[in-house]
Chain A
Amino acid sequence: MNKKNARFIIGASITAILIAMAIVSIFYTPYDPETINIKEKFLSPCMAHIMGTDNFGRDIFSRVMVGLKDTIIISGLTIAIGFATGLIAGCFTGYFGGAVDEILMRINDALSSIPSVLLAIVMIGTFGSGTTTLIISLGIVFIPSFARMIRSDFIKEKNREYVMCAKLSGAGAMRIIFVHILPNCKNTIISSLIVGFNNAILAEASLSFLGIGVAPPKASLGAMLKESQMYLSGAPWYSIFPGITIVLLIIGLVLLGEGLKKK
């Protein structure tokens, strides 16, 4: 119990600090994240630039703040699309079963048999790059995993006696699905949301790293990693700080999720 509490507190604090940084970046950053200042390029971390500067003399700390914001927004929206669609598909297929279940689950299988990053690349290639396409294509990629998790929970729950009790109480199918069963899937939903969010962060970072995510000069943590790889030996801080931020964000969320589970 104590271990769980510790996880929760550490996870919640890391996540809260990072989210606060992202929110602050909307109103204030120490330097303008996109202004080029050639005179100050490749400064190592110092008092004026605590994370140093990059190849254009831009303040890395400011760019990490803004990048963090973009990463969180993109992953959040991605998960929102994937979760909402997956939730509904999972509820209905799990509860009703039958032919609809068979068809939707086979589509699901097909979707998940294609590597997610590849699928996103194909979609971006087809519909053109841009943040919106990125969000939508990643969102679609995330539908199957949510649908599957919730479906299996529903299959387990729908045969419990309290559902029969609800049927005898005259509740309709919609009411049973959303009012009676869904709240009991809380644990699955929380943990799959957090795992999904982490995967979305990583997917966004890898797509930006591959150069098809957020376009320069805008910052995202993945895009910064991509730009920095050419200067790894000369200016290691350029890649280290965005990298650490991604790792921290994910560790924070994982701990938070572990702490929330089964409470």
Chain B
Amino acid sequence: MLEVRDLVVKIEDREILKNIGFSVYDGEIVGLVGESGSGKTMTSLAVAGLLSQNAKCFGDIVLDDIRLSDLSIKERRKYNGNKISFIFQEPMTSLNPLIKVGKQIEEVLKLHTNMDKEEKREKVLDIIKQVELKNPEKLYDMYPNELSGGMRQRVVIAMASVLKPSLIIADEPTTALDADTGKSILRLIAGLNKSYKSKVILISHDLNVVREICSRVIVMKDGEIVEEGSTKEIFSSPKKEYTRLLIEAVSDKEKKNKTEGGDNVLEVSDVSLYYKEKGKENIIADNINFNVKKGEILGILGRSGCGKSTLSRAIAGLSDMYHGSILRTVSENMGIQMVFQDPYSSLNPSKTIGFILSEPLKNKGGYTKQEIKEKVYKILKQVELSEEIYDRYPDELSGGQRQRVSIGIALISDPELIIADEPVSALDVTVQSQILELILKLQREKHISMIMISHDRVVLKKVCDRVIKWEEITNGMF
């Protein structure tokens, strides 16, 4: 078994992890849950001995009677890949794009075993079959970029499990994948765990992922363990307030009091989106048909890369890379506004929040300085931010505050339609639910129409009056 006792990690005298202690038994899958910055990845790196050099690590880490914490970095390295292996979040970057898939899996065998060429090849083909990939012979000679995201993650899992390690650490293994692929990956991890009797630590910010396959859950916050217990206990009767919040954020709740919506504010008919490459038009999706009614929040559900963002830009008038008709019955002048996904790049880093918020009014013209300032303060109040923020720069704000500012920018010019492109997917779950609350409040107060685009069904269900799937409105290529 794996036992971690009194684990403390310090970076420059700041305690990143405080007294972490837990154990994982053979054949068990333990979920490590928390928001970004809670220390869950740090914990796993400490266990694997992969912390950066400026981090100091104290406490005991014992894996199968080996006291890892007493060994030097060099001694620990020989256990990596062999006894401990990792599955990372992004299968795109954890595979080397220039090496064939088969060779990459073989590399692990080369480093830790004395198998000859034939044996290695056989073993690789065998593990490719085990991770439920078809045509092992053909796949052996393919490059990572020829595979889909889900297939790549299976290859990463093959690499991680080919030596039947005692401990597998899976750090957000499904976050970069769409829902269905993610589920199948989780099932695969659970299946392998069952047949190999290894220990698995599954790290995730998403409680639903953990609920799927873990028998026990550890909830972390600010470098400490908040609560620990069996998955059933945690979900049915959480002891701590924080755990309850996390569970609430992912629970499947549908919006009450749905708005019916009036006339159409937007009609999209027979639109096809394309991008240009060397003068040639490549179609991303075609035959897109839908409309948005006045006062409603319409959700569009689609996986990443399907063309949702391109569509939102076309509707907002930021891109003319489309054919077909987009009929907007809103005023030409700033009638449509957008809220972007990443609040870190959607706010100009060299301007104060006050400047950013007053920009639409300045450009619109017809306001005195005093009026602009008053309006900005009013908007700050509406998005529930304090007035002090007026003179701050974006990098002094948290992700949630920034996204509130982004919503403020969209609101300040009194638009008739707001397009929100994954407005909460870059935020932590607890902040997510606050932003969603805000959006609902604004809908009630201002009766704006809104398109909300997301890959997350749970999020859409909570705020949207109507949800349509990308597949339903298009002949997508994906």
Is B363 touching A165 in the complex (CB atoms < 8 A)? Answer: no
Contacts of A168 in B (CB 8 A): 316, 318, 334, 336-338, 360, 410
Min CB gap B414→A, angstroms: 13
- In the complex, whether A31 has a CB less than 8 A from a CB of chain B is no
Name the B residues within 8 Å of A171 (CB-CB): 359, 363
A238, B286: Cα distance in complex, Å: 77
Interface residues of B in 290-337 (CB under 8 A from A): 313, 316, 318, 333-334, 336-337
B413 touches A169 (CB 8 A): yes
Shortest Cβ distance from residue A189 to the other chain B in the assembled complex, whole angstroms: 12
CB distance from B321 to the nearest CB of A (A): 14
Bound-state CA distance A162–B409 (Å) is 11
Say yes or no for B346: interface residue by CB 8 A criterion.
yes
Chain B contact-residue range equals: 20 to 34
List the A side residues contacting B363 at CB < 8 Å. Answer: 169-172, 175
In angstroms, Cα B356 to Cα A166, docked, is 9
CB-based nearest B residue for A183: B350
Cβ of A160 under 8 Å from chain B = yes
**Inter-chain contact B318/A186, CB cutoff 8 Å:** no
Interface size on A, residues (CB 8 A): 17
A175 to B356, CA, bound (A): 13
Whether the pair A170, B333 counts as a contact (CB closer than 8 A) is yes
Contact of B345 among A161, A166, A169 (CB under 8 A): A161
**Assembly CA distance A63 to B409 (angstroms):** 60
A232 within 8 A of B: no
Are B360 and A169 in contact (CB-based, < 8 A)?
yes
Q: Given A160-B345, A180-B348, A183-B350, is A166 in contact with B340 using a C-beta cutoff of 8 Å?
A: no
A165 lies within 8 A of B409 (CB): yes
> Which residues of chain B are near A165, meaning CB under 8 Å?
338, 340, 346-348, 356, 406, 409
Using Cβ atoms and an 8 Å threshold, which residues of chain A touch B406?
165
- Report whether over half of chain A's contact residues are helix, strand or loop; otherwise say mixed: helix
Known: A161-B342, A169-B413, A170-B334. A184 touches B349 (CB 8 A): yes
In the bound complex, do residue A169 and residue B334 qualify as a contact, i.e. CB atoms below 8 Å apart?
Answer: yes
Contacting residues, chain A, for B316 (C-beta < 8 A): 168
Say yes or no for B364: interface residue by CB 8 A criterion: yes
Nearest B residue to A169 via CB reads B360
Assess A162 versus B338: contact at CB under 8 Å? Given A168-B318, A169-B360.
Answer: no
- Cβ of A218 under 8 Å from chain B: no
Q: Do A162 and B360 touch across chains, with their CB atoms under 8 A apart?
A: no
Closest to B333 in A: A170
Q: How far is the CA of A161 from the CA of B409 in the complex (A)?
A: 13
A162-B345 contact in complex given A168-B316, A170-B360, A183-B350, C-beta closer than 8 Å: yes
Q: Is residue B351 within 8 Å, beta carbon to beta carbon, of the partner chain?
A: yes
- A106 at interface, CB cutoff 8 A: no
8 Å CB interface, A162-212 against B: 162, 164-172, 175, 180, 183-184, 186
Tell whether, in the assembled complex, residue A164 and residue B338 are in contact, meaning their CB atoms are under 8 Å apart. yes
Complex: how many Å from CA A167 to CA B319?
11
* Cβ contacts A to B, 24 pairs, < 8 Å: A161-B342, A162-B349, A164-B313, A164-B318, A164-B346, A165-B346, A165-B356, A165-B406, A165-B409, A168-B318, A168-B334, A168-B337, A168-B338, A168-B410, A169-B360, A169-B363, A169-B409, A169-B413, A170-B360, A170-B363, A171-B359, A171-B363, A175-B363, A184-B350
With A165-B340, A170-B334 known, 11 other A-B pairs at CB within 8 A are: A162-B347, A162-B349, A164-B313, A164-B318, A164-B340, A165-B338, A168-B337, A169-B359, A169-B413, A175-B363, A186-B350
